[in-house]
């Protein structure tokens, strides 16, 4: 009788341990989950891997993302832009490779920055970006426009001739050619 009680108690303890491990092992959903998009743009395979922040009722442009200050273009780790072939952006050649993508948003125009340093967190402890201007490979100016519909989460879309950043009420097309 005593052995049966001990066996039941041990089984119950093992079950409790298993349930608690599963319950506490669940990951909390990230506030700005990682996302990516891949496709052919101007004859090259392009991939953009980024942290996708949400609007969450905040003022984005000129608020959370200040104007005229370099931005990591997403959340958390620096956004990574990869191209399998050399492409042209703003009439300048971007060699095939992997780049951190930064931007400098403005009310009327944006600077798009492709930087050769990758693998870094998007911002430093003081809140400034990790962009090292000496490693900027290409800087182009683009014109933002009002998006057709608001986007709660920041996303990138690819077309045959452009990479488009969409977030809140804004679309930022980056024209790409061969």
Digit-coded pLDDT (tens) for 72-101: 999 999 999 999 999 999 999 999 999 999
pLDDT at 45: 98
165 neighbors 143 (Cβ within 8 angstroms) = no
pLDDT at 18: 52
pLDDT at 131: 84
Backbone torsion region of residue 115, taken as left when φ is above 0, otherwise alpha when ψ lies between -120 and 50, otherwise beta: beta
Between the alpha carbon of residue 163 and those of residues 21, 41, 42, 93, 133, the distances in Å are 43, 8, 10, 15, 22
Strands (E), 54-144: 79-83, 87-89, 92-94, 97-104, 110-115, 136-142
Distance between CA atoms of residues 125 and 62, nearest Å: 21
State if pTM tops 0.85. Answer: no
- Find the largest Cα–Cα distance for the chain: 85
User: DSSP secondary-structure letter at 9?
Assistant: H
Q: Where are the domains of the chain?
A: 32-177
Digit-coded pLDDT (tens) for 53-69: 999 999 999 999 999 99
Mean pLDDT across the stretch 113-137?
88
Distance between CA atoms of residues 35 and 79, nearest Å: 10
């Amino acid at each position: 009788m005593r052995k049966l009680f001990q066996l039941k108690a041990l089984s119950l303890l093992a079950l409790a341990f298993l349930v608690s491990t599963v319950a506490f092992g669940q990951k909390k959903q990230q506030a700005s989950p990682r996302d990516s998009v891949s496709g052919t743009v101007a004859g090259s395979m392009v991939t953009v891997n980024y942290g996708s922040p949400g609007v969450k009722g905040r003022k984005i442009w000129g608020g959370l993302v200040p104007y005229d200050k370099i931005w990591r273009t997403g959340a958390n780790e620096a956004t990574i832009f990869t191209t399998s072939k050399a492409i042209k952006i703003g009439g300048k050649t971007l060699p095939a490779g992997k780049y951190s993508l930064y931007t400098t948003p403005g009310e009327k125009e944006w600077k798009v920055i492709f930087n050769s340093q990758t693998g870094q967190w998007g911002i430093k402890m003081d809140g400034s970006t990790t962009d090292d201007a000496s490693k900027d490979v290409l800087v182009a100016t683009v014109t933002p426009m009002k998006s057709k519909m608001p986007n709660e989460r920041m996303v990138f879309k690819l077309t045959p001739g452009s990479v488009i950043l969409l977030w809140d009420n804004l679309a930022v097309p980056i024209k790409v050619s061969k």
